[in-house]
Structure 1
Amino acid sequence: MAIVVAAPAEAIALIASEPDGSVIEVICLDGGSGAEYRALEAAMAAASRRGCRFSGEPFVLDAGAGNITGQILDVLHETGPVRLRTLDPDPAHDSFDTERKLPIVNEPAARGKAARSALRAARRYQLEAGVPVFVECRRAGAGTGLPPEAATRYPLTTGWLVSGKDGRLSAYLPTAAGVVRWTEGRTEAEGWSGPELLDGPELMPGLRVLRGPDGYAYLLGLSRTKRKESGADIEVVCAAQYQSGRPLGPWVALGNPHAPNWQVARSVGFPSAAFAADGSMHVFVRNFGHGVSVRTQSPKGRLSRWDALRGQKVADEMTAFPASDGGVQLVARARDAEGAVHWHRRDAESAWQEDARVPVSLRAGSLSAAPESGLVRFRYSATNEVCVWWPGAQTPIGLGGPDGDGPVAGVSGADIQGWGCTVLVRGGHGGVPAIGAHPDGRPDTGVWWSESGERSIVPPAAAFDSRGRVVIVTVGMDGKLRVARQQLGSDGLEFTPWSVL
């Protein structure tokens, strides 16, 4: 794993949040002051005591020599990382100049430059080496005690395993060079193909994957296009997978609520989306003012205007989900509190309504839509326990599993000895997947969790295969896909041994 920062002090939080046993390379644009470099050495020594390994001293680049991207690329070829972590390529603004209509950013310019150079170098390295590189951009200023899930600029991908119209499964994940895909073969004997890099624009390191009512998989991301004058245009883009294993459909621009002011637009959050029962797709983003903006795409592709939802300020974490009445709802983590905000509307012609009195205190980086319509899952901020909540419920229901970090995936309607059950999978202790289940519609009966497999560098995902078996996928520390499949007819919930693709 490579950490790329502008100055030594900026690597400290990234090192502290790495799991025990990680192999780490540190790359700095300059060596900083003596005190700063000594603080980095102390952080590396502390990480070594908990099992992390460093091949040697940090790589200190010659920023004055120019071609920072090329220098980083040389180090990546030398070290061969599977993961790369850096800071926010578009640092957050502190205030706004109303006369010039420009955001005011007080972070050192070198931070964003280092991150953008790291992303370009990682993209080139992946294209040249032919192996996926998984990237995470941490928000500058995030506390050292926060895990990566809680401090990442682009939310971790959930729901990244989906079935196509033919029942074959496909896994999609964001990498430095774009989206990579693994596709299940037409028969079990045929196995899986991938990872295959899909054609597309330059994307930021995040991805939303959802299955539409038409059975197609839809991918959403943020594209970055360099402007001729200066800066870059950031906009929401979407592509559809019509046939399993075939080329991805064209990426279609869904815009940015702050276009054409690119200095403001670059601060937009990562999109979340859900389909209503009528086939319309609702796309939500955190906007410049830390509110929520939404636009709708009709089943025929017609886009509504961006609509700003007034109300409480939100963080870069939200999940849209289908409601039981056929509409779409949204839950977002509050920006300045551990609570959440819920938006809903009565019908397509009504205005969006905000409910800021949601009885949810969630841990950052843990929010996700549940497989059952109208439910969300998260980790309780005080105990880290997995919880489930639905709009209107007075309190969430605890599901146990206080170890580990990140969101929870799952499926409902799984066959376990003839009973319909909801199967859940989450990151457990040390990132090892933990699997549990409860009867459909009865989360109050509790969940018995058991760990399986090895550490995953992404949140685990789950889906049904063509035979109705639950399939769970992870990505190991070597960047390779791991797959486990439910064994129907066995005593309880049992899975095949993990296979490595």
Structure 2
Amino acid sequence: MARRASDGTAGRSEPGSAARGEFRQVAVVASGPADAAALVRAEGPGTAIRVLCVDEGSKDERAALERALGEASRRGCQVPGGPAFTGRDGDVGAALLRELRALRPRWVRSADPDPVRAGYDADAGVPVHDEPHRAAAALEALAAVRAWQTESGTPVFVDCGRAAADEKLDAAAASRYPRTVNWLTEGFDGRLTAFLPSAAGVVRWVQSEPEGTGWLGPELLPGPRLMPGLSVVRDPHGFVHLLALRRTAREGGGDDVEIVHAVQYRSGQPLTPWHSLGSPNPGDRYKSREGGFPVAGFDGAGGFLVFARNFGHSVSYRRQSPDGAWTRWYHLRGLRVADDLVTVTTGRGEVELYARARDSDAVVRWSRSGPGGEWAEDRSVPFTPVPGSMSAGPEPGTVLFRDLLTNEPGIWWPGAPAPLPLGGAEGSGPLTGARGVEVDGWSYALVVRSGPGGESAVGAYAEGRPDAGVWWSDAGTTSSLPSAAVRSRNGMVTLAAVTAGGRLAIAHRTSRTSGLEFESWYTV
């Protein structure tokens, strides 16, 4: 087994700053050189890449990986050494864990453990996959990384690249699990909490006191075999709801994948137990494993709606009423969709769903009038987003995205004749924001985006008037995940980022009412 001498430790920024130019230590773990090459090509500048392959593959595949590593070096990545082949040992999982101990990565890239089928064998009742060994290697990788995170006590962030994704897409756009947005949230007691998915489960940082600079964490929250994705939704009472996918062993062999839900009622206190919402395709281990990642929203009546793409590539949903009772899974018939959904709550308190189409660049929208109304499908949405870039806008009923042709952020809402460009075409991934930000007596909406090297930028426009223009400014830090923003009930705006070394970075606005300057960043 190949070994390379390195402690793998990313440089840490000093308190009071969040370092720029720090390389993310990324371990690419794949079944073989061909899969590894695809994952390497999705990496942008600012990463130090180490490759672990289960199998050695053919001579041509190894040559393709070497070319991909060479191209990565030329676009600004570090490539300290060649690939290691862990399949030379009998126990692949143990060999991967030994390599991870040596490399000590904070970021891991692997393949999709539950790839979408290439076909379906109706007689056998099972999906057909082109390369099932890719999923098996991804599961070995996830198990090894979970073990390494549990052993080291340090968060390790995992990205699973979707099989057969367009190689022109970056890692964020080609991910099996969508990037978490709105992961910084204010609790019922006024303290902020940051939630992020990691290899071993959800990690949490909690502010020690409202508007203070002291934080507790990172703390690994209980949640066995959660997959590395997370949806974070705050309800009207200030309680934080988390949604994830959980893998469970099935009697007789194999696994089921189910949607699970937990709630934080008090900042810093234990979550409720993870409650299973099942699957849109229950009782079938093959179909449940291919379900999409859940998204959710609260309607004006206090209902909690959870949506997910089902095995047939349409949308299913459940609703929890204010008294806690759940409906069964219902099916929204219509256009087949990709695993790229976002919910938006309108000013009337109605939850709407946007989804990117599976077989085209179009977007479809579902809406209804009131909790008991019939869902209406709208295929006339006038924008085409970069995959993985849609998110709820800062104002009710609005949706943010990056334009597929220009990469420029845009905003749209029903009734607008066309989407409005927001400027700042650099970077990738979804945007986020906050509303009700007072600037010299005027109310502004804040938008946060990532730049080409992960540089965070903050934009602002007068509420209700994005057509009047957005003023962008450098936020003063880089983030390896989409930056987050929250406006507290007292009007304080706080930004959050994740450093290349996997640490939480925080910046507070200098004033509640004037200017958009922020204090120096500090790391937790």
Interval containing the TM-score (normalised by the shorter chain): over 0.9
Q: Distance in 2 between matches of 1:280 and 1:101?
A: 36
Matched, 1:58 2:83: yes
Superposed displacement of residue 67, structure 1: 2.2
Name 2:291's counterpart in structure 1.
268
Superposed displacement of residue 9, structure 1: 1.0
Mark the CA change 1:474 to 1:403 in structure 2 (over 3 Å): closer, same or farther: same
Name 2:48's counterpart in structure 1.
23
Q: Aligned to 2:101, which of 64, 77, 89? A: 77
Name 1:216's counterpart in structure 2.
239
Name 2:447's counterpart in structure 1.
424
Q: Distance in 2 between matches of 1:422 and 1:347?
A: 27
Q: Distance in 2 between matches of 1:99 and 1:110?
A: 23
Superposed displacement of residue 218, structure 1: 0.3
Q: Distance in 2 between matches of 1:244 and 1:34?
A: 54
Q: Aligned to 2:381, which of 331, 335, 358? A: 358
Q: Aligned to 1:149, which of 161, 172, 179? A: 172
Q: Distance in 2 between matches of 1:261 and 1:207?
A: 23
**CA deviation string 1:289-347 (max 9, x = no partner):** 11111111112221111111111111111101212222211001111222200001122
Matched, 1:340 2:341: no
**CA deviation string 1:23-65 (max 9, x = no partner):** 11100011111111011111111211223122222011125x4
Matched, 1:92 2:116: yes
Name 1:438's counterpart in structure 2.
461
Q: Distance in 2 between matches of 1:96 and 1:355?
A: 29
Q: Distance in 1 between matches of 2:489 and 2:381?
A: 38
**CA deviation string 1:58-78 (max 9, x = no partner):** 011125x43211111111000
Structure 1, unaligned stretches of length 5 or more? Answer: none
Name 2:18's counterpart in structure 1.
none
CA contact (8 A) 2:448 2:457 kept: yes
TM-score, length-scaled by structure 2: 0.93
CA contact (8 A) 1:416 1:488 kept: no
- Letter in structure 2 aligned against 1:433: S
Name 1:118's counterpart in structure 2.
141
Q: Distance in 1 between matches of 2:406 and 2:327?
A: 41
Q: Distance in 2 between matches of 1:52 and 1:421?
A: 38
Larger deviation, residues 144-153 vs 490-499: 490-499
Mark the CA change 1:190 to 1:427 in structure 2 (over 3 Å): closer, same or farther: closer
Larger deviation, residues 195-204 vs 183-192: 183-192
- Letter in structure 2 aligned against 1:4: V
Q: Distance in 2 between matches of 1:278 and 1:212?
A: 12
Q: Distance in 2 between matches of 1:105 and 1:89?
A: 12
Q: Aligned to 2:229, which of 206, 221, 227? A: 206
Q: Aligned to 1:390, which of 404, 413, 426? A: 413
Matched, 1:314 2:337: yes
Name 2:74's counterpart in structure 1.
49
Mark the CA change 1:100 to 1:358 in structure 2 (over 3 Å): closer, same or farther: same
Q: Aligned to 1:230, which of 235, 242, 253? A: 253
Q: Distance in 2 between matches of 1:62 and 1:397?
A: 51
CA contact (8 A) 2:296 2:307 kept: yes
Q: Distance in 1 between matches of 2:120 and 2:272?
A: 39
Name 1:377's counterpart in structure 2.
400
* Structure 1 segment 415-494 matched on structure 2, within 5 A: 415-465=438-488, 467-488=490-511, 492-494=515-517
Secondary structure (helix, strand or coil) at the match of 2:478 reads coil
Q: Distance in 2 between matches of 1:43 and 1:340?
A: 33
**CA deviation string 1:337-387 (max 9, x = no partner):** 222000011222222111111111111111001121111110111111111
Identity %: 46
CA contact (8 A) 2:337 2:358 kept: yes
TM-score, length-scaled by structure 1: 0.97
Q: Aligned to 1:253, which of 271, 276, 301? A: 276
Matched, 1:135 2:163: no
Q: Aligned to 2:39, which of 2, 14, 23? A: 14
Q: Distance in 2 between matches of 1:39 and 1:51?
A: 19
**CA deviation string 1:424-470 (max 9, x = no partner):** 11111211101110111111111121222332111111102353111
Q: Distance in 2 between matches of 1:187 and 1:303?
A: 34
- Letter in structure 1 aligned against 2:144: A
Q: Distance in 2 between matches of 1:60 and 1:212?
A: 47
Larger deviation, residues 364-373 vs 203-212: 364-373
Name 2:220's counterpart in structure 1.
197
Secondary structure (helix, strand or coil) at the match of 1:10 reads helix
Aligned residue pair count? 499
Secondary structure (helix, strand or coil) at the match of 1:111 reads helix
Structural RMSD (CA): 1.4
CA contact (8 A) 2:259 2:277 kept: yes
Q: Distance in 1 between matches of 2:117 and 2:436?
A: 45
Secondary structure (helix, strand or coil) at the match of 1:449 reads strand
- Letter in structure 2 aligned against 1:354: E
